[in-house]
Chains A and B, each alone.
Chain A
Amino acid sequence: MNVVTATLKEELATPLEVEELSPDVIASLTRAEILNLPAHLGNRERRLGDFFEVEGEKSTCLELHGDLSRVKCIGHSMTQGSIAIHGNAGMHLGALMTGGTITVHGDAGDWLGAEMSGGLIRVHGDAGGQVGAAYRGSTTGMRGGEILIDGGAGIEVGMRMLRGLISIKGTVGDFAGLQMKGGTLFLFGRAGIRTGAWMSRGTIVAFEPLNLLPTFNYACTYEPTFLRLYVKHLQKLDVPVPERGWGGLYQSFTGDTSELGKGEILVCQPAAAEGSSSAS
């Protein structure tokens, strides 16, 4: 398969913004044209070739190598193709994407998949804050697509998300699911405080006890059959789901009553202590 490979020449001291580093852009470009793509280092417009060694041309498959933790906006607004990053990725990876696949064999920065509406992002390491979130001043975050994180993530994950799926295996920071309007957020690890704050709709599924806000009210403990569809789907995507996730009991809390109050938080009960309270 024809692949474009870009390798970072040397570690960056200041952030580099490369919105053009996307399968949509390179799909029709020769190697020379790819090297000539704009890259913004501070207030200076430079060329991609100043920072990357590039092999291959005219492909929707992009492979990146090196520590790209200071390279921002990779795959910005991408609609197709694939990006595989062998190293860390900087902020805004896959922001506003509508299609395609991004795989990170390392860590990703803040605003991963911010306001995306389609496609799949898989991070094998940790992610920063504001995963799938709405930008400041924007009313709506992720509108579709899937973000799967094998490690942990920072604060405000899924902020104002409307649709789509986020799954985080490790720990997450405070305000996960902040102001959620819809969509589904799976938290397999521990979460910080104020999970689901100000959510109006949407679903948060937690596999560890949560410290909930007083504006969430206990509804019932039940076995939500619809979750089996999600569990099946996540397993198909190689996300390991605990055994109790399938057919286990979940405590359901509704809130946030400071807003519309139609969001739900489902806390999976430990198999040995079914019926006991998981929310403090």
Chain B
Amino acid sequence: MGEIKDRADLVVVWGANPAECHPRHFARYSVLAKGKYTPDGRKGRTVVLVDIRPTPSAKVADIFLQIRPGKDFEALTALRALVKGHRVDQARLEETGLKLEQLQDLVDRMKRARYGAMFYGMGLTMTRGKHMNAMAILALGVDLNEYTRFVAMPLRGHGNVTGADAVMGWQTGYPFGIDFSRGYPRYNPGEFSTIDLLTRGEVDAALVLGADPGATMPQPAIDHLGRVPTIVLDNKITHTSDLARIHITTATTGISASGTVYRMDEVPLRVRPALTSPYPSDEEVMRQILEAVAARAPNGNGAAEDDDLKSPAGDEQRSLEEVVAR
């Protein structure tokens, strides 16, 4: 983000509304900020917004491209072809709500830019095509690097989701959708990602750490969370904690517990508590759970003995209750 502040002269925001959802983003990094090589701040940058409707972010943009809902992948793929100087079918392109001239103009600006930055949000990642939409904007970024320096970055939400991705990444090599059941990490979104596992009813217990899937996941996934023993670590009552069998209240990182959070560009920031809390930190609870699990796995690889498999759920609950009591 510091690099974008210092260098970006073209900023493209796709399917996101930072003016409302990331209120300090424009001011601190991408639009108004004056940087080392962007001394003119706002005047030295061109801002393009692509979205299905004019949001408050459109007022900040120099160019607003109103795309039809669900046509992001088509438009991004057409942009990739235009970047390479290849032909696109004009009639089918116009089904996206955008004209060839508009996209060609955008491509020309992108190629002319000294340093371009693309930010994308849930308008891209949570609409039909999901991961492929994200892949399309990332691929466009790769293609543009044949001509100039370009970066593409998701505008993340929900606190420290970037931290989860970053830590998983350096621990296992994969950011999410990881399976550890065979004793080593395996990656396969769709097979091992949480929503899919829950929707197919393939898990018989769940541990939710600082998230609220009960408010965000599809109903079949939420229903399954309610059916299996679910343990929630959160500093507040949530939809998920309501349906969980155990809710362990934890201290709030950055307010009453120390810890590390990751900025959306994966810069780790150490936070210190300003207040004390009667509750343990997430880390403390997880460490105690890990110790309790390790104590019940004499073979040392995290797998319980066969007898444990047959033990009633009450036993597992008791051990967790012991953790809570401690």
* Complexed CA–CA distance, A215 and B190 (Å): 27
**B81 interface hit (Cβ, 8 Å):** yes
Contact B302 A258, beta carbon cutoff 8 Å: no
| Complex contact B132–A44 (CB within 8 A) | no
Q: Which residue of A lies closest to B92 (CB)?
A: A214
| Contact flag A43-B74 (CB < 8 Å), given A91-B191, A214-B88, A261-B86 | no
Check A213 against B303 for contact (C-beta < 8 Å): no
B96 at interface by CB-CB < 8 Å? yes
Pairwise interchain contact B132-A197, C-beta atoms closer than 8 A:
yes
SS class, residues of chain B in contact with chain A = loop
Contact with B along A175-189 (1 / 0, CB 8 A): 100100000000000
Check A25 for interface membership: any CB of B closer than 8 A: no
A233 smallest CB distance to B (angstroms): 31
Contact of A218 with B182 in the complex, beta carbons under 8 Å: no
Complex Cα distance A148/B92, Å?
32
Q: Determine whether A207 belongs to the interface, using a CB cutoff of 8 Å to chain B.
A: no
How many interface residues does A have (CB within 8 Å)?
Answer: 37
B132 proximity list for chain A (CB < 8 A): 175, 178, 194, 197
Chain B residues near A40 (CB-CB < 8 A) = 181-182
- For window 107-127 of A, CB contacts with B under 8 Å fall at 110-111
0/1 string, B186-212, CB within 8 A of A gives 1: 011111000000000111100000000
Interface size class of B (residues with CB under 8 A): 35 or more
Interfacial chain B residues near A218, Cβ < 8 Å: 89
A191-233 CB mask vs B (1 if < 8 Å, else 0) is: 0011001100000000000001111111000000000000000
Closest Cβ of chain A to B273, distance in Å, is 35
Within 8 A of A (CB), among B125-163: 128-129, 132, 139
Chain A residues in the interface with B (C-beta under 8 A): 13-15, 17, 40, 42-45, 70, 91, 110-111, 129-130, 135-137, 174-175, 178, 193-194, 197-198, 212-218, 256-258, 261, 280
Which residues in B have some Cβ–Cβ distance to A below 8 Å?
Answer: 73-74, 77-78, 80-81, 84, 86-90, 92-93, 95-96, 128-129, 132, 139, 180-183, 187-191, 201-204, 301-304, 306, 309
